[in-house]
A and B are shown apart, each in its own frame.
Chain A
Amino acid sequence: MAPIVSVSNLSKTYASGFKALKGVSLDIEQGEILALLGPNGAGKTTMISIICGIVNASGGDVTVGGHDVVRDFRETRAMIGLVPQELTTDAFETVWNTVSFSRGLHGKKPDPAHIERVLKDLSLWEKKDNMLRELSGGMKRRVLIAKALSHEPRVLFLDEPTAGVDVNLRKSMWDVVRGLRASGVTIILTTHYIEEAEEIADRIAVINGGEILLVEEKAALMTKLGRKQLRVDLAHPLERVPDTLSSYNLTLEGDGHRLIYDYDTSAERTGITALLAALAEAGIRLKDISTRQSSLEDIFVEIVGAAQ
């Protein structure tokens, strides 16, 4: 199936001379949740802004649903919903009016039933007549999501949607996102909370310094780059790793009370059985054993760190 969003060789140089994007290419499949990870200033927001039509590109092409975002902007922008990073709201408008306004801007006829459904899904229904300045930060964030959903988009961009949002709201927001994906909406999200991406995304793209470093299925990425650690707590401390165990590249921690063994989960043999046997042979008594999997955050730090 053709990608719903296709970015090819996209570049952007701002008037200040800052190169925000340096020839980025990325295909986003229909119906997936893609997490776009990257440190501040990596180019995430610039890329989203170009796809949505807020910023002009310096070079390259973007298509959404097969339409060029510049030439066929009416088709592409009608398909896209955008939740911006900043909490930008019209302080003196009511929730109902601002969400209805968004629907109108996208050329859709008024549909109070749809707006009601969106507001109820986001627990905003009771606040529909409140002015935006009366709402808390988390509520405003929900209003921005409601605005983005007001015109029934097929592609939804969430730029840091959970920044400054409490745990409960975050959970309910992800429920909404999952519901949207189930209905066929493609979701692109940027976040600093890597555990969120780990929990919800199908694929991960890492961007840094205006370049895409990798795009990978989350599961594949975790196996490919994910490492596991076996931690062995010892009954009696060791002064150093015995020579008979040197082939395992063990490290000694906790004043000689703990041995750490790094292994590759995707390898045919992890070497655990052999290691445990070798430990018994060396007369080392064990107190406890635990394993730890590296998180997406570790992977992210590793990739971005290697690129710098």
Chain B
Amino acid sequence: MQNKQTSLKNTGVLFLTATLCLFMMSCASNDSRQYGDVYDPMESTNRAIFAFNEVLDENVAEPVAKGYRLVMPEPGREGIKNVLTNLSTPVNAGNQLLQGDVGGAMTDIGRALVNTTIGIAGLFDVAGYLGLEHEPEDFGQTLAVWGVSEGPYFVIPLLGPSNLRDGVGRLADSFADPLNIYLMNIEEEEIIYARWGVSVVSQREDLIEVLDELESGAIDYYAVMRSSYSQYRNTLITDKDASAGMAAFPDFDDE
């Protein structure tokens, strides 16, 4: 118990340091890139990891996702998605608060209260029907709102596209998740891994068509994923306000 608390404290300090480093970095980097270009200094390594992930995806993740879709009917998959969203409430609401969005945090808490009770442990998104819509937040987005830039793009083995900011955010979210901390304290780590596994399969199932289309339409799939990831993250950061950061689109009358 004592050890665990110290290790938690240590990870806390680690993340504080990592966040500070990110601030320094984002202030120091002289950003002269065009909108839509992604900073990718480790491209060759990234491409290798990407190729490795693709093999794994083709042989494991995609077949599992397709099998899951086959075995589990739509309402069941929807229910599992709802439960996962409900379980993410503490992290989601926490990030809303860190981003200064008190209303968003209240919405999250309201959603959890309604869905956990009337929605039977989160299986049904009753709050969603009532107009309290889920807005996905994470610490990567929070860092972005605080002014931290993406940093270098990198592909995480097994997990896929990310960047320094979002990678740190991901770690921070999973370590700060009260549910995970609780499960670690009662020594039920298996549940953490089970939840993570279910959420990976559920997310992959969600993306079957999207990824198929992106790949079949692409000449350089790596470049397409890199650009799409960065743009999609920007959409989430601005809470789906497509007007923020719209790229300039010149008129070509001149030539």
Do A and B assemble together?
no
